[in-house]
Structure 1
Amino acid sequence: MSARIDHAVSSGTFSLDGETFEVDNNIWVLGDDEQCVVFDAPHSVAAVRELVGDRECVGILLTHAHDDHVRMAPELSQALEAPMLLNPDDAELWKLTHGDLPWDDDVADGDEFSIAGVDMVAIATPGHSPGSTCYHVPELGLVLTGDTLFEGGPGATGRSFSSRETIEASIRDRLFTLPPETVVHTGHGPSTTIGAELERARGDWLS
């Protein structure tokens, strides 16, 4: 059975630095008909479970620890009987939502995973948050970027735990080195490609 990427959208809120915003988050599930992994845990356990179906979920890979991406992670972990994985550089952000409740396993730059017969590698891309992590699936020609890279450019900075200079370096050095045809599946909004965003950046912030 061939690996594929499944997609849905859930709606809720994002809160940081005393402000709250309405947001729509993408839900991404990578796998085949038998097993899968879930990226992030936004807003609705039911929406994620519907996308997973009766497949075995072997992990919940958290791209970063902003509350709209991790708020439902413990509940989803219990529902799917799947471990939560997070880059520990986002520990302080995680604590804002979950206090001393731990996630299950750490993710580090270069960690490799195999799911549904395809390989995937974790790419550390700090900037939007200290522990932001993307997941590259070369055989499917895609990368899941969380809130690091969107259609239109880098993810938001200017709030606590973020850095514009750092996110630009992460995108330039870690993502723009991927093949230009690589499809970028984002945490919010439409997908794009590495090539399209590289061209856009050359006319904007990339020097």
Structure 2
Amino acid sequence: MRDTHEEAELLGLVRRYVKPGRRYLKLGGSLLRLDEPEYDQFARCLAEDAELITAHELLTLLEGGWRERRTAAWLIAVSRRTEFRERLGELLLASEVCCTGLAYCVALASFGTPDDADHLCAYLDRYLRRPDLDYDQLIAMGALLFIDLNLGDDKAARFLAPDGLWHEWLQASPGRQHASTYVTYLSLVRRLCAFVEECADLRPTG
């Protein structure tokens, strides 16, 4: 992981794309609670930056901390740069830093292909077997279901079967029973992907 404070290139990118308006904090469910004027401005600025940022700059941000990686994933989603699919899948599976999983899942869901679903399945196969971890299993399931519904596929079925990994993971901790309905997370992914599409349509060359 590259240190923002030690590398001038990364620091410059953070100042340009990550920190303005504390963007990195709003990239998630909180953006859905923004008032209309702020929401519209936020979407326009994100769309403009998604168009301007280069592939090299995105790769550099993906080597930073959680703020940089979260921002990069959203910019990748809005600019529809599917060439980053494998890298996002790798980062999701590695789960090296906190606060980034939702961004990776939304980006993959917004791409919405069987390959993206496979990355989410790989994540769920690994982390639903870890009842000691509360990572991004819930949002990953929501993202996988979102893709399934759009493609008419059923890759989530084996996890959601009565004897599947999903129920085993939920039952391992009483506190998870309050979050047992995947419909909540499917709805969240749907709303965030709608925001991605809205931003993509605002891109200057879109």
Q: Could you say which structure has the greater relative contact order, defined with CA pairs below 8 angstroms and 6 or more residues apart?
A: 2
TM-score, normalised relative to structure 1: 0.30
Q: Please state which structure has a larger fraction of its residues in helix.
A: 2
Larger Rg: 2
